[in-house]
Amino acid sequence: MNIPAGVVGLALALSLVSVSAQVRAPYSEGAAGLIQKLQRLSTTASAMHTGAHPDDEDSALLARLARGDHARVAYLSLNRGEGGQNVLGPEFYEALGVIRTEELLQARSLDGGDQFFTRVVDFGYTVNMPETERKWGGRDVPVADMVRVIRMYRPLVVDSRFSGTAADGHGNHQLAGALTPLAVKAAADPTRFPEQLKEGLRPWQVKKLYVGMRFGPNQPDPPTLTLPTGLLDPALGRSYAQIAAEGRSQHKTQEMGGALLHGPQSTGLRLVESVVPRVEKEQSVFDGIDTSIPGLAALAGLPAGSLAAPLAAMDAAAREALDDVDVRAPAGVLPRLARGLKAARDARTAVAAVAASADARADATFLLDQEIRQYEEAMLHASGVHVEALATTETIVPGGQANVSVRAFVPEGVTVTVGAPTLDLPQGWSQTPLAEAPQFGGRGFMARFLREQPTQQASFTVTAAADAPVTQPYWLERAHGGRPPTPAEERGDVYAWKAAGPAHVPFAPPIATGHAQLSLAGTELAITVPVQFRIIDPVRGELRRAFEVVPALSVHVTPGMDVVSLDRAGEARNVSVRIESLAPSAQSGSVALQLPDGWTAEPQGVSFSVEQAGQSATVGFTLKAPAGVRAGTYLFTALATVEGKHPYASALRTIAYPHIQTHRLYEPARFDLRLVDVQVAPVTLGYIMGTGDEVPEGLKRLGVPVTLLTPNDVASGDLGRFDTIMVGVRASEVRPDFVANHSRLLDYVRNGGTLIVQEQHEVYSQKNLPPFPAEIGSRVTDEEAPVTILVPTHQVFTTPNRITLEDFKHWRQERNAYGFAKFDAQYTPLLESHDPWDTEQKGGLVYARIGKGHYVYSAYSWFRELPDGVPGAYRLVANLVSLGAKK
């Protein structure tokens, strides 16, 4: 399973075996899928599309190139979208990046493209390209990664989604656009990033570079090529734009669902660089490039006439197969495909004898390897043979066992010889043949009725290595390869990947694979499939999950984080530790807490015992602070020790949504205690929930009793029983009751209540919901942007906590978003902050006196700062809610 470092990139380019999307694309299956595969055999076309985030991609372009032009196509997203919003659930940052990586896989499954990434992290919204550059450690990190992917994938054409100008908007977009031409140039230069050449990669000259025309007014530079994407493909039953809309609708965390538009649609591109003669009126991005199979040798740089006979045979076989295929009996094209595959293999062998440069021979070999793989896939598809490897369990612990069967199913009427299936396991694992195959009905009531009879199968008992690493997203392993982390890695703005490990791909390859040798039409095919676990869900039907390694124990600490007023530091604090078993056998040991200096815990250690997977044991500890403890952060790590094994100190976090595959993340099993010098007045508080909202939990940490208001409460409840009402982020979009009863809430303020409205989008002002005229639109994206307190004597800054500029340090992701850009003089602006490249912004926190009460609009990002335990954010929010305290 270990790939030598020298061929990591090439191996991943040739086989994205880790890609296993939850979405099943009808366009890749059945008759439509076979026709697509046959059409792809007649071209060497390839392209790469670049952008900054998931959902930046021009999906219609990808679908048109992959399914219309039958090219090998990839989307290179610089980051995984960690800094975006999440309308589905509580996952942010790294966890959100995992979900958005999966959403890209779902989209690529539909539009037909491949997917790659660089190491840089989405740190949140910015309109500033220099800030993006600074966060990512300069340009060399992303450019090096882009060059590596280009040299690995070797696309003939590159299309940049962005122009590298202010018209792109987001600073990540601007930098992605600026870096793409630099990466294209550097990829062809053997003096740039020579370490990649030592890995086995070679320079690559992209033939044409385009920039997209759909973000911002790029006129007076009009598109040089307009590609129709609304064309209906009869075999697929959709236009490329409709397929793209299905793909974009997979970006569910970002609310990207869209309509399947009928009729003409198009994508505009502008050709900015070309090393081939320009075509006056282009019809395709491949105009001027010979992407035919007979032209393969010349494209690679071989002498004229090289490989002429086998290339002609390949071309003829592909065309005959497409012309003659009967979708009612697709196996009839197997002899033609076998002839084409033999010709491709012969051509690859013949390359070594061609009198040409080593680079030309290598390029020809690369292209022929693509053709061979595509012929093999077409033959397997046409045959209808299905090969799979199923495990009896979804997870295995280090040293644990599972049964696995590699099975082949051959349709009636198809002549196929299937060799004895085999299993490939990681180093240190072992396998023992099973005389009888286990049952693979899966879970669920209907599973008992399943009956299957494979044509050929082999079953094994698999034993994992005692030190088998847990399966997790490879980019979250925090490896520095023995070197000190760079500042960007230390901040978390750039990931550090393990040397010689997976890189640039969505997820790591499967930990175990099954293999079967087939003989079809006199041709040998080697089939590799991932080991999976099959679930029969009573509602959703059959689901497949990756076979993964998990630890025997998962250790969870509650609470995981708490913010406590310094004057309560002397109180004893209770912490519970839950030890959950993931192993099928009994586990027993002891659990203790690692303590900061001076702190004590009672008891010091506790024994535990759990019998089997799914069971857990919970133990409690009482923590006491040393005398004179100061404000600050204190970490308490739980260690569960089992005799003869390393301590378990991680909590398993499962990420599962219906539209994606399940993934597992590991977080430190610790209690993060923040002692903060903060006071809050005794108030009763009602809360109107918004989206992605953990602010109520933060308020509870302050000791504020919070009542979540239902629509009935807002419409007809007694609002006067609350001293303060706080409105969650984007409530004006997701809480119709808030919009419908806004005048009632303003009456509550006039009668002496305090209403604090958090960040809303433009709809809030468009519906005239602010008490006085205001327009939303300001934003401060730099979390370190200087802050000016405009009215230092205002109650918001004096009572009960004295707010200073120290309270605006160590913020996460941004200062504020969707503040008032313009507002009536009846509002009092309280804070001024603006990005270094922007003008003065005073609308992030405004106050108005209405009747007897207080109204506050706050665009400052409490929904991010409070869950992260930012002390100054807690102090300022405490003052805001304290406005409602009875005098």
pLDDT in tens, 593-640: 999 999 999 999 999 999 988 999 999 999 999 999 999 999 999 999
Residue type, 663: H
Looking at residue 441, what is its pLDDT? Answer: 62
Residue 97 Cα distances to 285, 654, 866, angstroms: 32, 14, 21
Say whether pLDDT at 820 is over 90.
Answer: yes
Cα 819 to Cα 845: distance, rounded to the nearest angstrom: 7
Of these ranges, 433-437, 576-580, 687-691, 862-866, the one predicted with the greatest mean pLDDT is 576-580
Looking at residue 3, what is its pLDDT? Answer: 33
Residue type, 588: S
Q: Per-residue confidence at 215, pLDDT binned at 50, 70, 90?
A: low
Determine the angle formed by the axes of helices 240-248 and 93-111, rounding to 10 degrees. 160
DSSP SS3 for 884: coil
Mean pLDDT of the region 423-427: 97
User: Residue 3 CB: number of other CB atoms within 10 A?
Assistant: 15
Segment 49-96, tens digit of pLDDT: 999 999 999 999 999 999 999 999 999 999 999 999 888 988 989 999
Mean pLDDT of the region 150-177: 95
Q: Per-residue confidence at 12, pLDDT binned at 50, 70, 90?
A: very low
Looking at residue 8, what is its pLDDT? Answer: 39
Q: Per-residue confidence at 447, pLDDT binned at 50, 70, 90?
A: low
Looking at residue 446, what is its pLDDT? Answer: 57
Residue 491 Cα distances to 98, 666, 824, angstroms: 19, 19, 40
Say whether pLDDT at 481 is over 70.
Answer: no
Q: Per-residue confidence at 14, pLDDT binned at 50, 70, 90?
A: very low
Mean pLDDT of the region 140-157: 98
Mean pLDDT of the region 282-302: 97
Say whether pLDDT at 19 is over 70.
Answer: no
Q: Per-residue confidence at 23, pLDDT binned at 50, 70, 90?
A: confident
- Residue of higher predicted confidence among 887 and 741: 741
Mean pLDDT of the region 860-864: 92
Segment 649-665, tens digit of pLDDT: 999 999 999 999 999 99
Mean pLDDT of the region 794-809: 97
The answer to whether the CB of 758 falls within 8 A of the CB of 876 is no
Mind listing the domains of the chain with CATH numbers? Answer: 34-42+292-383 (no CATH), 44-291+482-506 (3.40.50.10320), 384-471+508-546 (2.60.40.10), 553-676 (2.60.40.10), 685-882 (3.40.50.880)
SS3 per-residue string spanning 779-800: EECCCCCCEEECCCCCHHHHCC
Mean pLDDT of the region 413-433: 96
Say whether pLDDT at 6 is over 70.
Answer: no
- Residue of higher predicted confidence among 485 and 4: 485
Say whether pLDDT at 10 is over 80.
Answer: no
Across the chain, mean pLDDT equals 93
Mean pLDDT of the region 763-784: 94
Looking at residue 442, what is its pLDDT? Answer: 55
Strand order of the β-sheet with 587-594 is 561-565, 670-676, 632-641, 587-594, 605-610
Mean pLDDT of the region 573-580: 97
Phi, psi dihedrals of residue 77, rounded to the nearest 5°: -95, 125
Nearest to 613 by CA among 395, 309, 867, 298: 395
Cα 491 to Cα 793: distance, rounded to the nearest angstrom: 36
Q: Per-residue confidence at 691, pLDDT binned at 50, 70, 90?
A: confident
Say whether pLDDT at 407 is over 60.
Answer: yes
Tell me the sheet residues that pair with 271. Answer: 210
The answer to whether the CB of 640 falls within 8 A of the CB of 608 is yes
The torsion of the CA quartet 372, 373, 376, 377, rounded to 10 degrees, works out to -150
Cα 345 to Cα 411: distance, rounded to the nearest angstrom: 27
Cα 834 to Cα 790: distance, rounded to the nearest angstrom: 13
What percent of the chain lies above the pLDDT cut of 90?
85
Residue 669 Cα distances to 311, 342, 595, 638, 697, angstroms: 59, 56, 13, 6, 20
Looking at residue 219, what is its pLDDT? Answer: 53
Tell me 284's DSSP state: S
Cα 860 to Cα 788: distance, rounded to the nearest angstrom: 14
Segment 339-366, tens digit of pLDDT: 999 999 999 999 999 999 999 999 999 9
Q: Per-residue confidence at 490, pLDDT binned at 50, 70, 90?
A: confident
Say whether pLDDT at 728 is over 90.
Answer: yes
- Residue of higher predicted confidence among 770 and 500: 770
Residue 114 Cα distances to 20, 66, 436, 515, 531, angstroms: 12, 9, 39, 23, 21
Looking at residue 443, what is its pLDDT? Answer: 57
Mean pLDDT of the region 555-566: 96
Mean pLDDT of the region 242-260: 93
Looking at residue 220, what is its pLDDT? Answer: 58
- Residue of higher predicted confidence among 2 and 731: 731
Mean pLDDT of the region 486-491: 87
Looking at residue 439, what is its pLDDT? Answer: 80
- CB neighbour list of residue 282: distance below 8 Å, 6 or more residues apart: 224, 225, 271
Cα 495 to Cα 503: distance, rounded to the nearest angstrom: 11
Mean pLDDT of the region 223-241: 95
Cα 505 to Cα 149: distance, rounded to the nearest angstrom: 10
- In this predicted structure, which of 439-448, 789-798, 877-886 has the lowest mean pLDDT? 439-448
Segment 829-850, tens digit of pLDDT: 999 999 988 899 999 999 999 9
